[in-house]
Structure formats: structure tokens, C-alpha cells
Structure 1
Amino acid sequence: MTWTVPEIDRRHEPYVADERSMLQGWLDLHRDTLQHKCAGLTAEQLRTPSVEPSGLTLLGLVRHMADVERWWFRHRAAALDLPDLYDYSTDPDADLNDIADVDPAEAFATLRAEIEAADRAVADLPLDHTFRLRRGDTVNEISLRWVYVHMIEEYARHNGHADLIRERVDGVTGS
């Protein structure tokens, strides 16, 4: 029997809520949407690239978002010293590119584990919690609120990619 990505019951954003609940709700919706876009696909389909010259795949997006969850919530906002999920020593996009031998079940388990760990890591931090991040010669002070908004944007952008890749793989379109 061929392994396929299991179906997921997507959570939906709240229509009325406090700021933290609203941000968390939208983030959870987008987290679930990426997994939903992969539901029912085989390992081979998850490795199918979008369109030449791009090598972007659904499996690469799953791995990328696991890494992004770890980086922004746990490493940066919660200041946890964590190793990289993937070997970036020869390819700065290894999360997206190095997928030929990746076990999809393991990649999805990693994403789910990183999501849970990210939520736990920042659960007690206020949205106004800040940390410093150097980009080039500039040091920026960034709030946890910014991280939530950025992560919603990151998922939304990549979910758009996932829409197009899924349509290419098997013709499925929609939410």
C-alpha cells in the first residue's frame, strides 16, 4: 500500500476575538491549509515540482515551514538554542531542495511537532515581547506580534504556491 498524506480537519479563524486569539486562529488556519493542500497525495506526487525552471514542491514547502516555525517562534522569539533541522552547509535552501530521499511521513510529523513546540514556546510570552535580529549592518527590534503576522503572511504566500503545485499534480483546485 502506498502512503498518502492523511486528510486534516482545518480549524477556522475566529470572527470575533481578542488580538492573540485572532492571530493564533489565522495562523492555525494557514498551518492546516498547507497540510490540507497535500492531503491524499503520494510521496511521488509530493516531490513533483511546480513548473520549470522552479523546483518547488509540496514536500519542500512542508519542510520549509517546519524550519520557519522553529526559527521564528523557538529560536528567535523564545531565544532557545536549537540545531538546524536540515543541513545548510552546502545549500542555503536545503529544506526546499534536498527532498529525493525524504520520508514524507517523517516530514509531516516534523512539521506537526514544530508547530506544537512553537505554540508551547511562546504561550506565556506577551505579544509585545521583543528580541533583536541582525540583518546585514542593521539590528532590528522585533515583537512577537510581528512574528505572528509574518508567519501568517509566510503561510499565505506558500499556500498560494501549494494551490498551483497541487493543481499541476492532480488537477485539484479550491480552498
Structure 2
Amino acid sequence: MADTALGSPAMTTERPAPPLIADEREMLRAFLDFHRATLAMKCEGLTDDELRRRSSPPSALSLLALVRHMAEVERAWFRRAINREDVPLVWSDSGDFQQAYDVSSASAAEAFEAWRREVEHARRIEREAESLDVLGHQARWGEDVSLRFVMLHMIHEYARHNGHADFLREATDGTVGA
């Protein structure tokens, strides 16, 4: 049996259930982690080649492209916008977000390592922020944004792309559900 991107073929992602009652920050944090885990679950048990598979050419969208894209999104919103770090994109020195979708020579191990690293940075930044009212700056828009907005935007971003991941996974090996 071939090794998969997430480790051994038997590896499973634990997906935390969001609480039914919690304060705003804990609820946002839980739903974001739920969606992060959902993306990882959609990729479990697949080889690098299967993760690279595009289900609807000419679109470059694949499960591996989604993981790389979400690493960029985590970095852009938490490190660059909220924390105001002057860091380049993960896969593009020129600021081209589309380069994350080019997975022709990408490895799943590298993509998941980068994604997990950016998720950990994001979690640290969120935990250390005084409140959801902390402001960052979205340079592409030339606008300030609150951590609350970023958390909600990230939930939206993952939810949208997890819908794509549902179709990509089903087209790859017939697996449905999350």
C-alpha cells in the first residue's frame, strides 16, 4: 500500500465539533478549526498523484492546489494582514496567488507542511490578539480589517473550498461525505 500525503494510509484527522454554546471568539475559533480539519479529511488516504488530479480540466483546481491555496490564504490574512509581517507568499515571490494552483511538480508532504505551519502561525496570532477588534491592514484593498472579519472570512473561504473538495474527492475515488 502506498504512503499518502498525510502519513500512513491509516492516519485519520480528528475534526473538532463546534460547541453549541460558547462566546463569540471560541465559536469562531471552533468553526474555523472544524473547516480546517474538513479539508485535511478530504485529502486523507490519497497519493500525491491523486491529490494532484484535476477533476474538471482546464481548471487547475485539485485537492493539492486547495491545500496550497489555503496555506497562502492563512499567511495572507493572519501573518500579513493582522500581524503586519512583511513575508512573501509561500509559493510566489512576485505576489501571484495563482502559483499555488500549479501542482505539476508539487509534493503533498511539502504542501501539508506549509499549510500546517501557516495554520499554527494563525492560531498563535489569534490567541495572542487582545480581542476580535484588533485591527490589521489588507494591503491589496488598502483597508483596515478586524480580526473578527478575518476569522469570518477564513470560515467562508474554507467552507467554499471544502465544497470544491467534496466534488474533487468524489471524482478521484468515489468517496462522498465529510
When normalised by structure 1's length, the TM-score is 0.91
C-alpha contact (below 8 Å) 1:31/1:155 kept by paired residues: yes
C-alpha contact (below 8 Å) 1:78/1:122 kept by paired residues: no
Q: Which residue identity does 1:57 align to in structure 2?
A: S
After superposition, the C-alpha distances for 1:120-141 in whole angstroms (9 at most, x for unaligned) are 12312110011233456xx423
The total of aligned residue pairs comes to 172
Q: Secondary structure at the match of 2:133?
A: coil
C-alpha contact (below 8 Å) 2:69/2:97 kept by paired residues: no
Give the Å deviation of 1:12. Answer: 1.4
Note the aligned Cα RMSD (angstroms): 1.7
**What does 1:9-158 correspond to in 2, within 5 Å?**
9-87=14-92, 89=94, 92-97=97-102, 99-125=103-129, 126-135=131-140, 139-158=142-161
In the aligned structure 2, how far is the partner of 1:105 from the partner of 1:157? 24
In the aligned structure 2, how far is the partner of 1:105 from the partner of 1:141? 34
Give the Å deviation of 1:91. Answer: 5.2
Q: Which runs of 5+ in 1 are unaligned?
A: none
Residue 78 and residue 89 in structure 1: after superposition, are their counterparts in 2 closer, same or farther (change >3 A)? closer
When normalised by structure 2's length, the TM-score is 0.90
Residue 102 and residue 135 in structure 1: after superposition, are their counterparts in 2 closer, same or farther (change >3 A)? closer
In the aligned structure 2, how far is the partner of 1:65 from the partner of 1:86? 12
Q: Percent identity?
A: 46
Moved >4 Å (runs of 4+): none
Q: Which runs of 5+ in 2 are unaligned?
A: none
Give the Å deviation of 1:75. Answer: 1.0
Residue 75 and residue 89 in structure 1: after superposition, are their counterparts in 2 closer, same or farther (change >3 A)? closer
